[in-house]
């Protein structure tokens, strides 16, 4: 490198590149989704903390999922909304890498928390007599701490590998936020180490957990088939299928983005897919996992009753 080499100090987030009126419409729509996801997850988190009947392993993991969804959405969405109303779409290198670090950290942690939740349901349905012994609070804490630790350790590795790369050429990130693959395209060095680590991480936090959850839910469905009550079978099937739909979408989209060979035609599609993780998934999780649940509805009703003046 020559001594007069100029290094990039900030990137430009390209975004969707739409007409001004369309961007204003998207601003309102995305803002409503973001506010709803914050409120829904906040309500779930508050109910779990305040209502003693929800102090169980299942809701313990759901509280972690709510925290992750709030943090996950807040990592990217505010900057994305600001870019929809501003012509200045720049972001400095360090905040960009920090955004990548947080995005990967929360995403990987969510994958592992979902595995812990599927294991909890597997034990509850397939081994109900031993549930309180197997899923004691020590085990729950170990599973939660392991999920957060593994999620952010692998994210830290990605951030360190990203910091070592030189950026001195193009500075337009063709994405809605600092997505790691889009940022790597701007590096003025070989990024094969980064690519290998990304693939290895995907195997660890996507393929492995997805296979584990599919096995758990298959065992659960097999146990459900043995339930004598038709109403009980229907309710259990409905719950399992809704959970599997959310898990399939979350893991499926992530695997398409990070494990399928890349092409230039997919760049715009990946922007749309990333919206699911940043906006729709944090909104769907409380609807699927919590607000449809009778215990959560009961806790919400009791909380509202307490607020009413006598």
Complete DSSP assignment for 259-293: HSPP-GGGHHHHHHHHHIIIIIHHHHHIIIIIIT-
List 200's β-bridge partners, or say none: none
Q: pLDDT (tens digit, 0 to 9) for every residue of the chain, 310 residues total? A: 444 456 778 899 888 877 888 888 989 999 999 999 999 999 999 999 988 888 999 899 999 999 999 998 999 899 888 888 887 888 998 899 999 999 999 999 999 999 999 899 889 888 888 999 999 999 999 999 999 999 999 999 999 999 988 888 778 888 888 989 889 989 888 899 999 999 999 999 999 999 998 898 888 888 887 777 777 777 677 777 777 877 888 898 888 888 877 665 567 778 888 888 888 888 888 888 776 677 787 888 887 777 665 5
Pairing of strands 172-173, 90-92: unpaired
* Both tokens assigned to 188: 């003025």
What is the predicted pLDDT for the residue at 71? 94
Q: CB-hemisphere CA count at 13 Å for 167? A: 23
Q: Distance between CA atoms of 179 and 13, rounded to whole angstroms?
A: 10
Three-class DSSP category at 219: helix
Residue 280, CA distances (Å) to 109, 157, 211 in order: 18, 27, 23
What is the predicted pLDDT for the residue at 222? 86
What is the predicted pLDDT for the residue at 203? 92
109 closest CA partner among 155, 176, 77: 155
pTM: 0.89
Positive/negative CA dihedral, 306, 288, 151, 220: positive
* Both tokens assigned to 214: 């599919």
End-to-end CA distance of the chain: 76
Positive/negative CA dihedral, 241, 246, 249, 252: negative
The size of the chain, in residues, is 310
């Amino acid at each position: 490198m020559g001594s007069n080499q100029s290094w990039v100090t900030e990137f430009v987030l390209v975004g969707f590149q739409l007409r001004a009126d369309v961007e204003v419409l998207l601003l309102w729509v995305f803002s409503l989704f973001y506010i709803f996801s914050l409120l829904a997850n906040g309500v779930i988190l508050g109910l779990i903390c305040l209502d003693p009947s929800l102090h169980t392993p299942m809701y313990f993991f759901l509280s972690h999922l709510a925290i992750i969804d709030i943090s996950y959405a807040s990592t990217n969405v505010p900057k994305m909304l600001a870019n929809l109303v501003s012509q200045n779409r720049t972001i400095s290198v360090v905040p960009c890498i920090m955004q990548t670090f947080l995005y990967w950290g929360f995403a990987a942690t969510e994958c592992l928390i979902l595995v812990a939740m599927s294991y909890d349901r597997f034990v509850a349905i397939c081994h109900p007599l031993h549930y309180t012994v197997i899923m004691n609070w020590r085990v729950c804490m170990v599973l939660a701490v392991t999920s957060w630790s593994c999620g952010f350790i692998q994210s830290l590795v990605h951030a360190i590998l990203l910091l070592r790369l030189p950026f001195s050429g193009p500075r337009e990130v063709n994405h809605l936020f600092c997505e790691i693959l889009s940022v790597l395209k701007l590096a003025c060095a070989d990024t094969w180490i980064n690519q290998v680590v990304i693939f290895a991480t995907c195997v660890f936090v996507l393929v492995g957990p997805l296979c584990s959850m599919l096995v758990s839910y298959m065992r659960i469905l097999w146990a459900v088939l043995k339930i004598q009550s038709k109403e009980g079978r229907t309710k259990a099937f409905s719950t399992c299928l809704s959970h599997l739909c959310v898990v399939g979408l979350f893991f499926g989209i992530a695997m398409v983005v990070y494990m399928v060979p890349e092409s230039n035609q997919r760049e715009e599609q990946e922007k749309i897919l990333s919206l699911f993780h940043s906006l729709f998934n944090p909104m769907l999780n409380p609807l699927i996992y919590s607000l449809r649940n009778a215990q959560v509805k009961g806790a919400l009703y009791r909380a509202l009753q307490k607020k009413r003046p006598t």
